[in-house]
Structure 1
Amino acid sequence: MGETTTITTSDGSFSAYVARPAKAKAPAVVVIQEIFGVNAVMREITDGLAAQGYLAICPDLFWRIEPGVDITDKSEAEWKKAFELFNAFDADKGAEDIAATIDAIRADPGCTGKVGSVGFCLGGKMAFLTAARTDCDASVSYYGVGIEGLTGEAEKIQRPLMLHIAEEDQFVPKPAQEIIVQALKNHPQVTIHTYAGRDHAFARPGGEHYDEADAKLAGGRTLTFFAEHLG
């Protein structure tokens, strides 16, 4: 269903997976990867958004470290590599790469000009930074790791942001969640949903903590949010 495109920046070029909807012109959504690269799960999410009528694109944000990472959450060795990539990742450069992706897909003939973003795990943190640092029209963060250290950026958020927080997230402990919620709960552009009993990556199909009911609930909220803000 998808195709690969190349995005060029002043620092170099990187690839992105693109899935196109049936209609000729549509709003776009940037899918922001987990720590496993642009893998089958991310491509399926991108394809799924295209099936919902969006021009979807998933950029390779690890290209500066190792281009083309495509691993799973199924082995200890892959988890080890994923955390090494996570620790080596430069979030500031990643935000610049997402901004370049937004510009590229907005200029695509198949885009209406509206662009949203949705990120998971590391991508959830990057979706928060996307809301703060880019002209993305609407952003969605799923269980973003490290947002508690970035709440000072909240004052820069001028467009809608939705957060999905897993209350039992092993990578975002309750004190971190409290910091995030307290900093953002009264922000006029921010909507927060919490999921009782859910652990990190509850919306990752096939993942250890996948919960079908709450994954569907969060997914429905995300699509409603995009329909409202991307038109």
Structure 2
Amino acid sequence: MTEMLTITPLDGKGEFAAYCARPQGTARAAIVVIQEIFGVNAGVRRKCDRLAEAGYLAIAPDLFWRLEPGVELDPDIAPEFERALGLMGKFNQDAGVRDIEATIRAARTALGGNGKVGAVGYCLGGRLAYMTAARTDIDASVGYYAVGIDNLLGEKNAIAHPLMLHIAGADHFVDAATQQQMHAGLDDHPKVTLFDYPGEDHGFATEFGKRRSDAAATLADQRTAQFFADHLG
């Protein structure tokens, strides 16, 4: 079952929407799905639906609500891709993490107050998944082809719960030097696991469109599923 939820931000000012996919029966846990720069589009909703099919309560908050509520963009359409880059440039990431925290709280309430909550994010959402791991009480987090992690390594000591990062080896937004910095900074962290996907580009695990690489997406998603099973139940 799917529905739209309304969530109040931590500061109590305004409200934002979130796509919610519910499993049949009792949810094993909840997972916050963190959007790319393209909004809560069909691909993000499909990610939620797949998680619900696996028994999780999945919630994807509209993190661009302060800029343009309800935006849905297609990365394969050049003008929409450019528009997405513009939104990312205006987006307040710190406020976004606070909105994710509000979503985590809503998810815990939906689970009856004592269930576990994880997060999975893609692109910008992968970066936000890392920030969420460092700044909130999330139980487990996964980031796919996260951008700019080298600028966030100073927060790594605050990561108290398991974090998995999938790194696209040929990511044209995350160069080889940055990937090396990620490994140098995080390989010895007891809560962090990094996986490399040589030759794969940014967006390889998208549900739809030209960027998808089936073999890499399947492998990464299998690892993510096992990670959540191990840490969320």
TM-score over 0.5 for the pair: yes
TM-score by length of 1: 0.97
Tell me the alpha carbon deviations over residues 141-180 of structure 1, each in whole angstroms, 9 at most, x when there is no partner.
0000111111101010000000000010000011111111
- Report the equivalent of 2:155: 153
Q: Which residue of 1 aligns with 2:178?
A: 176
Letter in 1 for 2:3: E
Which residue of 1 is the match for residue 167 of structure 2?
165
Which TM-score applies when normalising by structure 2? 0.96
Q: Which residue number in structure 2 is paired with residue 76 of structure 1?
A: 78
Q: What percentage of residue pairs aligned between the two structures are identical? A: 53
| Runs of 4+ displaced beyond 6 Å | none
- The C-alpha deviation readout for 1:60-113, integer Å capped at 9, x for no partner, is 000111110111112111011100011011110001000000001110146751
Contact 1:201–1:207 (Cα < 8 Å) also in 2: no
Which amino acid in the other structure matches residue 94 of structure 2?
Answer: D
User: Are 1:41 and 2:36 counterparts?
Assistant: no
- For residues 99 and 175 of structure 2, the distance between their equivalents in structure 1, rounded to whole angstroms, comes to 28
Q: Whole-Å Cα distance in 2 between the matches of residues 2 and 111 of structure 1? A: 21
Alpha-carbon contact 1:37-1:69 (below 8 Å) kept: yes
Give the aligned partner of residue 4 of structure 2: 4
Report how many aligned residue pairs link the two structures.
231
Taking a change above 3 Å as real, the CA distance of residues 111 and 42 of structure 1, as seen in their structure-2 partners, is: farther
Aligned CA-pair RMSD: 1.1
Cα distance in 2, alignment partners of residues 112 and 24 from structure 1: 13
Decide which of 82, 93, 96 is 1:94's aligned counterpart. Answer: 96
Q: Deviations over 1:4-24 (max 9, x none)?
A: 000002232100000000122
Which AA in structure 2 matches 1:100?
Answer: A
- Give structure 1 stretches of 5+ with no counterpart: none
Contact 1:26 1:112 in 2 (8 A): no
Contact 1:27–1:112 under 8 Å retained in 2: no
State the alpha-carbon separation in 2 of the partners of residues 111 and 40 from structure 1. Answer: 30
* CA distance in structure 1 between the partners assigned to 2:38 and 2:111 by the alignment: 30
1:62 corresponds to 2:64: yes
**Aligned twin of 1:13:** 15
Structure 2 runs not aligned, ≥5 long? none
Q: Is the 8 A contact 1:202 1:215 kept in 2?
A: yes
Give me the whole-angstrom Cα distance separating, in 1, the residues matched to 2:121 and 2:194.
15
Q: What are the equivalent positions in structure 2 for 1:20-35 lying under 5 Å apart?
A: 20-35=22-37
